[in-house]
Amino acid sequence: MENKLEQLFQVDNEEWLTTLPRYQQIRIKELVDSTNSYEEAAKQWLNAMPENTFPFGGVEQARNIFIEKVRDEIEKFLSGDEKYADEHKQLLSSSEILQKTLVSSVSAAIAPVIGTAAAYILPVVVLVFMTMTKIADQPIVIAGQTSNAVLLSESDWASVQETLYLLSVPGMRESIREGLTTPIEECDRELQW
């Protein structure tokens, strides 16, 4: 994902919700609060149907939209897949990209591919982005039968690598600690290289 887009995920999850129209914000918040899962909330949105009611619409077979398909298309869009090359390029050419711009651009681009309307898929895109932000926020423990694994964001991984490198330099740890305890007035005003 481009840096310009990556930065959009350095936000509080609640910010994604504000990109939705008010009526969808309320509905999605209710779903997230009750399911405690962004993915489950997205599934409930996609499968919603009044109980015990036979719809009297026309002859079209009701279409099922799966969260996995939505997620796949979002990933293709974000990675600049050629299917979405034009929309991706257009988005990146904007001087400022806001969360709302990203949500609308992705929804409008993937809706016809999935066979649905942008207004309908909008909350699902937001919930997928909230999942991605959550992953970026904190490591996820993947439980195995004999041992566990940890999934963490690329930026966190880079940060860990940087720390390990600095600590591998002899005397670096002590130098940093000494620096942290040195009063500001004792610091040199001019660097002596």
Partner 1 sequence: MSYSALANIVFAVGRTGSNGVELLLGTATLLNSPGKFVTAAHVTNKDDQNLVVVLRPYNSIDDYQDTSDSQVQVIPVRIEAIDPFTDLCILAADIDVSSNLSIGSTNILNVGSVVDIFGYPHADHGRLVLTHQRTEIGARILIKNGIVKTKHVVLNTQARPGQSGSPIFSAYTTTVVAILIGSYAPGGGGGILLGGVDPHTLHQTTHAVSVEYIMEML
Contact positions toward partner 1, by CB under 8 A? 21-24, 26-27, 30-31, 34-35, 44-45, 47-60, 62-63, 65, 112, 115-120
Residue 68 Cβ, how far from partner 1 at the closest point, in Å? 17
Q: Which is nearer to partner 1, 50 or 171 (CB)?
A: 50
Q: Which is nearer to partner 1, 112 or 139 (CB)?
A: 112
Q: Which is nearer to partner 1, 48 or 150 (CB)?
A: 48
Write the CB contacts of 137 (distance below 8 Å, at least 6 apart in sequence): 13, 153
Which position has the token pair 């918040």?
29
Residue 30 Cβ, how far from partner 1 at the closest point, in Å? 6
Which is nearest to 117 in space by CA: 81, 79, 63? 63
Computed over its alpha carbons, how large is the radius of gyration of the chain? 23
Residue 19 Cβ, how far from partner 1 at the closest point, in Å? 15
First-last CA distance in the chain = 39
Q: Which is nearer to partner 1, 52 or 93 (CB)?
A: 52
CA-to-CA dists, residue 119 to 20, 109, 112, 162, angstroms:
10, 12, 12, 43
**Residue 141 φ/ψ, nearest 5 degrees:** -90, 125
Q: Which is nearer to partner 1, 58 or 144 (CB)?
A: 58
**Residue 20 φ/ψ, nearest 5 degrees:** -90, 155
**Rounded distance between C-alpha atoms, residue 104 and residue 185, angstroms:** 52
Q: Which is nearer to partner 1, 31 or 78 (CB)?
A: 31
Residue 130 Cβ, how far from partner 1 at the closest point, in Å? 18
Residue 89 Cβ, how far from partner 1 at the closest point, in Å? 24
Write the CB contacts of 100 (distance below 8 Å, at least 6 apart in sequence): 18, 19
Residue 90 Cβ, how far from partner 1 at the closest point, in Å? 20
